[in-house]
Structure 1
């Protein structure tokens, strides 16, 4: 490592207590995706931390969800490095009143401790370390968003806009249980299928009806047949509802479909096939429409290869080793990778059992992963 990298990593070596203190405060602040007040409160804690070091933060107002925050550390004229971080969690408002931040000798627990409040701490302290390391050859930005857990509907436009101008994107989502980082992710979408039929009394004039449930059942079989394990494509109707009573031919039915895919090119093909199934009239008198609820694009490995090599080399110098790992879970890094921007994910502290009441973070990974993050950022000027 060069002198700038050493200066930044050495400063971080003495910051464990401060990093954990911020983690504690963040975890003890409820921030469900639909709790704008809570998500913005998490943002306020981060802004206060950054402002202490004179790091400016722009607030982009978002109606109904957490505001988007853009922190920037100025540098030379080069393209910036962009760090991502979502402030929302899956846990309902009020969770922290009965299950807040706790810890033992090795692990920290609490709602969102790994996914991804630990990563928020790393981003924040990365900028604080870089501020102390001296003049930067390029700016470094953090984009703190507020609705990743429900598809980044309000944040995607901001993520893509800033990623297009970046030299690279680093996303400290939780490190894998194995200790690895994430070099590739599946894309995924939640689609809603609404079927309309024709109501009739099931005993008096059954033949006059057109069952929306029956039509939907035919579609579900066809949708599930699109699964192709060899290609990494899966389809799953996980929720269905319909009808009004057992003695009425169902006039309506609805299903939620989860779709996962590996490559960006697959998405258009799958969506075309799904649309054809939805459009097909299964029964005379029935019709259906397809609605797109959320979509995450895939993070293909080809966009992380060079960054992974840099990160691995620096991690070795810092005393730990990682591999790149593929996961079926989606994240905002898929949006940036799908733009062709070099992207690496899973750079946060190591954690596990995310989205459960047993979610944990390995405390002794806070500092090393932070050091590897700042060292990687600084290496991108070479």
Structure 2
């Protein structure tokens, strides 16, 4: 049985299907690659316009190079707030919209970032708009619209962690799984750049005088890949390699990019130590390897989402749909907040699939019910004890 405030919010959202689709079309038709500051800022401009029309407080944190950080506030700024999260950037290069902007076929919306995660941004906007129509918002709500999640949140992470301090819960609107599930667990991951220097020599005349950086790299790749443990959920993958100057020269340099995934922070720490040990080993005399971390996401461990998920399930059932939790190997900003000990639930956005491809799509009939479930969860957080998650 829904309380009066929840009923009021859900009733208003029930009539917003077309408005949400129109907003989704507007956002999808703005190129917003992670490195396109003008594009991600244009998305921020549009969101600001929508929210300010309803009197919602907007703070814009100007950033010199990356997209500005947009923060919305509702119901005061006290501790125990709820944090809504979403990212404005996509993986698609600037110019994509000109060749394939937003299109719709019956219940399916297509376009760059339509699921990941322009539809989630629309959801957060409409949750805020719905709450702003209440006589008094029953608890402080803050929403972050960041601009660099697809490249590891190098600029956004600090704002996420700062805004999450003191939060009661974090709700992240990454796309719902194609199964209709939300995300209760995510792997963490990190990227590394490995550089190896060696000594050049003619491969026929003076081979013994050289020291092959490629050979050292090859030996290390075998050891790095051996760290993969499917049962534990740990994977290591060298996805690119380069090096050498010619076929008949002992390679004086080589480099590779390494991707790692892990399920827990304890695994992360153990994996990093193992990688450092491999890089430090002397595989070929007169060669030297170094490693630089280029990106990182922390994992969303299931224990950090369990209580929130149980509440979400109840609210979804009251609205009229069933939902389960799901684990995924993909990373998200939810890992940053979960690692701070704050209950976090992810994958709350509309249902979509084929993210990061030309066939990416969003199921439009999930816009309203998923937004209602998100708003209902937020309004009923007082019913949940998070002691076990901390």
TM-score range relative to shorter protein: over 0.9
Matched, 1:295 2:276: no
Q: Deviations 1:30-56 (Å, cap 9, x if unpaired)?
A: 000000000000011000000000111
In the superposition, the TM-score normalised over structure 2's length comes to: 0.97
Structure-2 residue corresponding to 1:162? 163
Distance 2:340 2:76 in 1: 24
Structure 1 residue 8, shift from structure 2 partner: 0.5
- Measure the CA separation in 1 of the matches of 2:173 and 2:324: 15
Per-residue Cα deviation, 1:211-268 (whole angstroms, up to 9, x for no partner): 0000000000000010111111010111100001111111110011110000011111
Alignment check: 8 A CA contact 2:79 2:166 kept: no
**1:164 Cα deviation from its structure 2 partner:** 2.0
Q: Give the Cα separation in 2 of the matches to 1:39 and 1:75.
A: 27
C-alpha displacement of 1:380:
1.1
CA distance in 2, matches of 1:78, 1:135: 17
Superposition map of 1:47-196 within 5 A: 47-75=48-76, 77-196=78-197
Unaligned runs of 5+ in 2: 384-390
Partner residue, 1:220 = 221
Contact 1:76 1:136 in 2 (8 A): no
Kindly state the Cα deviation for residue 76 of structure 1 after the two structures are TM-superposed: 7.9
Q: 1:77 touches 1:137 (CA, 8 Å); kept in 2?
A: no
Contact kept? 1:68, 1:144, Cα under 8 Å: yes
Q: CA deviation at 1:290?
A: 0.7
Helix, strand or coil for the counterpart of 2:204?
coil
Partner residue of 2:13? Answer: 12
C-alpha separation between the residues in 1 aligned to 2:282 and 2:160? 39
Between 75-84 and 367-376, report the one with greater CA deviation: 75-84
Relative distance call for 1:186 and 1:268 in structure 2 (3 A) is: same
Task: Say which SS state the counterpart of residue 285 (structure 1) adopts.
Answer: coil
Aligned residues: 382
Q: Which runs of 5+ in 1 are unaligned?
A: none
Distance (Å, rounded) in 1 between the aligned partners of 2:188 and 2:150: 14
Work out whether residues 42 and 87 of structure 1, in 8 Å CA contact, stay in contact via their aligned partners in 2.
yes
Partners of 2:79 and 2:167 within 8 A in 1: no
Partner of 2:353: 352
RMSD value over aligned CA atoms?
0.9
Q: Deviations over 1:254-301 (max 9, x none)?
A: 011110000011111100100010111111110011100100000000
**CA distance in 1 between partners of 2:77 and 2:131 (Å):** 13
